[in-house]
Amino acid sequence: MTDALTADHARGAGEDSSRPAVRHFLKDSDLSPAEQAEVLDLAAALKAAPHSRTPLAHGDARETVAVIFDKTSTRTRFSFAAGIAELGGQALIVNPGESQIGHKESVEDTARILERTVSAIVWRTFGQAGLETMARFSRVPVVNALSDEFHPCQILADLLTVREEFGTTAGRTLAYIGDAANNMASSYALGGALAGMHVRLCGPQGYRPDPAVVEEAQRIAGETGGSVAVVDEPREAVSGADVVATDTWVSMGQEGQKSERAGAFEGFRVTEELMALARPEAVFLHCLPAYRGVEVDADVIDGSRSRVWDEAENRRHAQKALLVWLLQRAEASSSFVDRRPEVSA
């Protein structure tokens, strides 16, 4: 089933079915469980030896990766820029408001331009549909750097952090407390299920997970030995968990709902008292930016169980691994034009 999903997203430029498919990463389940494990293995190797792979370098020449932001960013921007440089390439960062995509020029036409100019397209945007269109018309890999629906690069970093902590993801329980309808919750469901984790999603009424995502995640979990459950009570959700995670209660674009959300999420803050119900060795994750005293208490995020700084660092390693993995497959599928300079022997 995940392979079928992969095939749906895989072929760029729509028309040419004679050519092997380009792989994209628009949502967590664009990787199969085995592929996700491959990327995480590579991420660990690249963390140990950051300059060991330079697929974007060709002598003195460097390939370019477009990194486009329709929304603001700190971690995603810096981790992709630094990671692409470590891979021997250069990141062309496009800040919010600087491009014509979607308002002066269609996503289709943008994809047609970019695929002739850059080696990969990393895009933080609003709706998932834009990413799907970009991927359909691009013969270079497209990566979701956060959409309203999913944040799959963040989950790769989180899974790497869990592996570092416990040696494995399979069989570990992750409790996500907060806005269980947001992109992080959806990506935890899918990505955690792929990794064989037991994922519990816990949010208040009105902020519960998308049933379609839960259904897909449960199908995946059926293959990997994991599980995905929707739990109403935070105390029940964190009971015996290995990982407790949360996210801001007000995601980008929801600023107008701040006071309404503050009321709705009462009782869903991650406190020391809540953490005490998790396993003694449990760790705390937050994709950041965090609001201390709102979704998490300062003594949790700044305490000994917090792994948020490792998690933030792991964005770079996980994304580098993902790019290496995607670029290898893009090279295998490329039959239309080789833009790269000759590599001298």
Q: Which residues are the active-site residues?
A: 124, 151, 154, 247, 287, 315
Closest approach of ligand CP to the CB of residue 174, in Å? 17
Binding site for ligand CP (CB under 6 A): 73-76, 146, 154, 287-288
Q: Which is nearer to ligand CP, 133 or 187 (CB)?
A: 187
Distance, in Å, from the CA atom of 197 to the CA atom of 54, rounded to the nearest integer, reads 32
Nearest-approach distance from CB 107 to ligand CP, in angstroms:
21
Identity of the residue, 123 or 137, whose beta carbon is nearer to ligand CP in the bound complex: 123
d(CA 299, CA 101): 42
List Cα–Cα distances, 181 to 10, 150, 198, 226, 250, in angstroms: 27, 10, 18, 20, 11
Read off φ and ψ for residue 175, nearest 5 degrees. Answer: -105, 120
In whole angstroms, the minimum distance from the beta carbon of 103 to ligand CP comes to: 22
The vertex-5 CA angle with 231 and 72, nearest 5°, equals: 70
C-beta of 32 vs 306, nearer to ligand CP: 306
CB-based contacts of 100, cutoff 8 Å, min separation 6: 110
Residue nearer to ligand CP on the CB measure, 12 or 130: 130
Nearer to ligand CP, 76 or 133 (CB): 76
For residue 22, CA distances in Å to 118, 145, 290 come to 14, 18, 36
Nearer to ligand CP by Cβ, of 66 and 146: the residue is 146
Q: What angle do CA 7, 34, 247 make, to 5 degrees?
A: 90
Burial of 71 (0-12, 13-18, 19+ CB in 10 A): middle
Q: What is the DSSP letter of 306?
A: B
Cα separation of 165 and 30, whole Å?
25
Q: How far is the CB of 247 from ligand CP (least distance, A)?
A: 9
Asked if 175 and 245 count as a contact pair (C-beta separation under 8 A), the reply is: yes
Task: Compare residues 146 and 185 and give the one whose CB is closer to ligand CP.
Answer: 146
DSSP characters over 91-151: EEEE-TTS--BTTTB-HHHHHHHHTTT-SEEEEE-S-HHHHHHHHHT-SS-EEES--SS--
Least distance in Å: CB of 96 to ligand CP? 12
Give the CB-side neighbour count of residue 2, counting CA atoms within 13 A.
Answer: 25
DSSP secondary structure string, 31-69?
S-HHHHHHHHHHHHHHHHSTTS--TTEETTEE-EEEEEE
SS3 labels along 137-168: CCCCCEEECCCCCCCHHHHHHHHHHHHHHHCC
CB of 157 to ligand CP, least distance (A): 8
